[in-house]
């Protein structure tokens, strides 16, 4: 895994894009000890982002992956549609809760940032890369 900087890519908010998200993330974390957990966590966060913006299917979301000193931080930013209403918020929130139960299990920490036209979800999958940096 490339340890430098933040890798980011924008995806259309469509369920069909989740395979592309997994391939993008898989490429970034290839060979990392927590590869499988990171891909699983991002899949959940991305699926939530898609459902969250289901009412505005022309929207996109951005996936960011950063290798910290002792964790892989992943973020999914749902840009939403500024000023546009979102249908089915209750259902989306219920689904989000289930997905985040898994994320909570996989990660050492996670959080959500809400703004009127933007929702960001992040989580950090712990690792011990700095302890074994000779092998990196």
Q: Which residues bind Zn ion (CB under 5 A)?
A: 127, 129
Q: Supply 45's token pair.
A: 């966060």
Q: How far is the CB of 117 from Zn ion (least distance, A)?
A: 33
Q: How far is the CB of 15 from Zn ion (least distance, A)?
A: 29
Nearer residue to Zn ion within complex by CB, 24 or 61: 24
Nearer residue to Zn ion within complex by CB, 15 or 69: 69
Nearer residue to Zn ion within complex by CB, 106 or 127: 127
């Amino acid at each position: 895994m490339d340890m430098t900087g933040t890798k980011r890519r924008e995806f259309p908010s469509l369920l069909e894009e989740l395979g592309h998200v997994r391939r993008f993330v898989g490429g970034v974390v290839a060979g990392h000890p927590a590869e499988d957990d990171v891909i699983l966590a991002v899949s959940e966060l991305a699926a939530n982002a898609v459902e969250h913006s289901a009412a505005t299917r022309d929207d996109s979301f951005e996936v960011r992956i950063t290798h910290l000193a002792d964790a892989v931080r992943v973020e999914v930013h749902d840009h939403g549609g500024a000023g546009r209403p979102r249908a089915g918020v209750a259902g989306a929130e219920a689904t989000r809760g289930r997905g985040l139960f898994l994320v909570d299990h996989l990660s050492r920490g996670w959080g959500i940032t809400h703004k009127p036209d933007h929702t960001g979800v992040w989580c950090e999958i712990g690792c011990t890369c700095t302890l074994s940096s000779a092998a990196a």
